[in-house]
Structure 1
């Protein structure tokens, strides 16, 4: 059955994908878009967009946030740009290209000329909003209102990032309304939805939680900007506090039948036998920073799930260090652990229950949500993270709550404790989210810079640069940007 489920998205992707995110030209050798109904294309769009989230977006975030180091004992020259923080228009430009291409697939579903697919269209609206939030978070202003028009507009204008954020809330409200008021002729969503398998109430929960994340991303700005604070207060008053109550996973039938059928994260790490390691797995190792955070008292029981243990400890390398005798890297370094890399058929993660609970804890702490206990939500988030990774608490939650900066109970700044816990819960799973939240709040325990890093501000970059592909194809509209800008300017929500 899983094989059948996977074949459908692969066929749909072959029929429905495009080489350029602005291209809608029809080929006489391919079916017209109007012939590919949303139920045939939704799984391909979901699967393709997730691949970028779990691979490249995850990688840049985990490296920038000093979770991952390089296996300098076996490789040379890896992560040179990341550790040097050598920003350029080529640096991770595939994130832009891939995310835009895949959000175009959601636009085609949304614009399909039939009201019989309102639930599929609602799912597409939610996921398009999910990924456009990340485009804003990673770049700032992006093409939005004129994007995906193909030959009708090959050089779309850039929209203001705050205006995009405001419209994402509108789109999510519209998606929820479509689900709640779908006509009787609406085609039911089933197994072609490889995320929630047609659970439309689950999609409403996901949409509400995404709204929560979008609103809270602006919360630090609201501390000093009265207009933003008023906007958030008004929006939170309208928010349905029905949030994600389980990990939101994706699995179209991942297996080890072929490279294209493997879970895309595992595909980077292991051959089809699920035993033979690829160089990507052998290269990625724990950083010294994260090893210290996980090892020091109270010892985090998730450490042996996030990384392999050596002598009962996570052993990491300082980013930018070299192997002995020229450097100080230990002879053996911890690899990514069994909580992250299991086998070819493992689920992918769109959003964790732990993240949902920590978002709720922050909203209550800031006074935007008046129901719920932030301490209980914080504790529940740790429990959810333990369950996701397959760890046992063993008294950790009670102990960490005694530590200022890490535990909610003891911390003078409760948001800092929430951000620390988020950085552990999402470690190796959604690195981009950790980096973005670090940029927003400045928290997560003073993450060190790599050895030899060159930064004009002495700090991490706050966004990526617009890619070479966009400079070549849409140069008249791309906002002016220097390398320094990626360190000194951030999306609108940065206070």
Structure 2
């Protein structure tokens, strides 16, 4: 494994120097004594944001958020799903590189009561990273996976056992956040919540909730999930605001918001290739333009020239897909081009905007599902409405979170409901069965996570089958599967990624073999 060939402290410093340059500090990478958890943490969190974007970006090509624009070639496995073991080498190695940083923080803070909060953050973020890794690869090196030079050929752990231990580690982290009152403040090292341990506790609890809902869907882990739900610390609560990484992004090369960098322009103002070669799918657009749901409010702050000339297409259509906008990406709703682009609301808020790794909208909708299924006690209708409102709040807000003049969230949400009077996907009280309620919850999560978290939306689809598609349909509003798919499945989709080729080269005795992207299910997948 690439990651385990590194000694922890070396990996920490490789990333640390990049972060400290970003943050404006001058740390000598040859002085190992300066590699403190306080210095490593901010870089690790920034690295996690970039890693999260990789997971989301890859999944958006599968779950219908993005499709190929015309005028661009070389799509290969993106449109055929004919993946190879080289397809996700970078994702695999980047995940373990990030995990090495958190393991270093955890090791260095384990016997230091004053660094208890740093220890808890490391546990939380390890769970965040590892859960994403398991969700697309299944079994992974875990118990031996971060031993550095001590073990360069680690065994693979069962994905179910990894999930179980991650939940246990989150329990420890939540306990630390709520009870280690004498620990030193996270201070400026915390570039997500500004040092608020209560917000970290809510974040950890929300990650745990997300994981338990997946575990509850599997016969292998449902009993474990039931026990954990019963013991869940609901007093801590769940996220009520967006979790956004921001170390102080600035309009300088390598230091601006990573979503902006990928989909809008670099610091010199050159429009990104991803911003032009990717366009929205007709499938996802149907949840805004009235085909499935009328959502003019969020549509207008999600897509440029909404309901007018937004370029939309179908994955795998190499002939008729429209070219992307000449000077803008389809997801920027502001004014100006290049370096003159003006910060705005919507998804691409600006070069210096915080980068979301989990939205409050998802938190509320996770709660709605848990309440609806009886795993936790609560009002699923209220949680559902809170989730929709939180989605409007995120999209309508600018960099500072301020809403446009005259915009009232309650009014916007009321209009949304009124525009869809008989649609239970919007008006949850109209859902008459558990299946309809779950469909409404997952569909609204799909909408809320549009272009924000493709990874989790793809996981939701694999777990629940929502949002609905018509298997095998070539109609672009009925299915988001590529029309050039090589998948033998009824839905014409892949179900996972293949292990990295680097594993077959460096850890051949342990890497699972016989894995197929169309049939080797992750443990929580329905089918």
Normalised-by-shorter TM-score class? 0.7 to 0.9
Q: Which residue of 2 aligns with 1:410?
A: 430
Cα 1:12–1:494 shift into 2, 3 Å:
closer
1:212-291 matched pairs, under 5 angstroms: 212-221=209-218, 225=219, 228-241=221-234, 242-256=237-251, 258-272=252-266, 276-291=270-285
Whole-angstrom distance in 2 between the partners of 1:183 and 1:296: 52
What's the CA shift string for 1:136-186, capped at 9, x where partnerless?
A: 1111000000111111100110000101111011101111222334373x3
Whole-angstrom distance in 2 between the partners of 1:396 and 1:29: 54
Whole-angstrom distance in 1 between the partners of 2:217 and 2:389: 27
Please say if 1:194 is aligned against 2:187: no
2:413 to 384, 393, 413: 393
Gaps of 5+ in 2: 1-10, 19-27, 334-345, 398-411, 470-478
Whole-angstrom distance in 1 between the partners of 2:321 and 2:502: 38
Q: Which residue of 1 aligns with 2:92?
A: 96
Q: Which residue of 2 aligns with 1:47?
A: 46
Q: Which residue of 1 aligns with 2:358?
A: 351
Whole-angstrom distance in 2 between the partners of 1:167 and 1:129: 9
TM-score, scaled to structure 1: 0.87
Whole-angstrom distance in 2 between the partners of 1:52 and 1:379: 30
Q: What SS class does the counterpart of residue 180 from structure 1 fall into?
A: helix
Q: Which residue of 1 aligns with 2:465?
A: 442
1:150-169 matched pairs, under 5 angstroms: 150-169=148-167
Cα 1:110–1:170 shift into 2, 3 Å:
same
User: What do you get for the CA RMSD once the two structures are aligned?
Assistant: 2.4
Whole-angstrom distance in 1 between the partners of 2:382 and 2:331: 30
1:140-155 matched pairs, under 5 angstroms: 140-155=138-153
1:342 to 349, 353, 367: 349
2:382 to 362, 376, 392: 376
Q: Which residue of 2 aligns with 1:21?
A: none
Q: Which residue of 2 aligns with 1:468?
A: 501
What's the CA shift string for 1:408-445, capped at 9, x where partnerless?
A: 23334211111111111001011111111111111112
Cα 1:406–1:30 shift into 2, 3 Å:
same
Q: Which residue of 2 aligns with 1:456?
A: 488
Please say if 1:293 is aligned against 2:294: no
Q: How far has the Cα of 1:200 moved from its partner?
A: 0.5
Q: Which residue of 1 aligns with 2:523?
A: 492
Greater displacement, 383-392 / 421-430? 383-392
Q: How many residues align?
A: 459
Q: How far has the Cα of 1:332 moved from its partner?
A: 6.4
Task: Say if 2:192 and 2:244, in contact at 8 Å, map to a contact too.
Answer: yes
Cα 1:91–1:15 shift into 2, 3 Å:
closer
Cα 1:208–1:401 shift into 2, 3 Å:
farther
Q: How far has the Cα of 1:193 moved from its partner?
A: 0.6
Q: What SS class does the counterpart of residue 279 from structure 2 fall into?
A: strand
2:136 to 100, 121, 138: 138
1:59-74 matched pairs, under 5 angstroms: 59-72=57-70, 74=71
Whole-angstrom distance in 1 between the partners of 2:145 and 2:423: 47
Task: Say if 1:143 and 1:157, in contact at 8 Å, map to a contact too.
Answer: yes
Q: What SS class does the counterpart of residue 350 from structure 1 fall into?
A: strand
What's the CA shift string for 1:11-39, capped at 9, x where partnerless?
A: 98646479xxxxxxxxx97233x541111
Task: Say if 1:46 and 1:194, in contact at 8 Å, map to a contact too.
Answer: yes
Whole-angstrom distance in 1 between the partners of 2:34 and 2:451: 39
2:443 to 420, 426, 437: 420
Task: Say if 1:288 and 1:319, in contact at 8 Å, map to a contact too.
Answer: no
Q: How far has the Cα of 1:220 moved from its partner?
A: 2.3
Gaps of 5+ in 1: 1-10, 19-27
Q: What SS class does the counterpart of residue 158 from structure 1 fall into?
A: coil
Whole-angstrom distance in 1 between the partners of 2:194 and 2:419: 39
Q: What SS class does the counterpart of residue 46 from structure 2 fall into?
A: helix
Task: Say if 1:405 and 1:417, in contact at 8 Å, map to a contact too.
Answer: yes
Q: What SS class does the counterpart of residue 250 from structure 2 fall into?
A: coil
Q: Which residue of 1 aligns with 2:368?
A: 361
Q: Which residue of 2 aligns with 1:180?
A: 178
Q: How far has the Cα of 1:275 moved from its partner?
A: 5.0
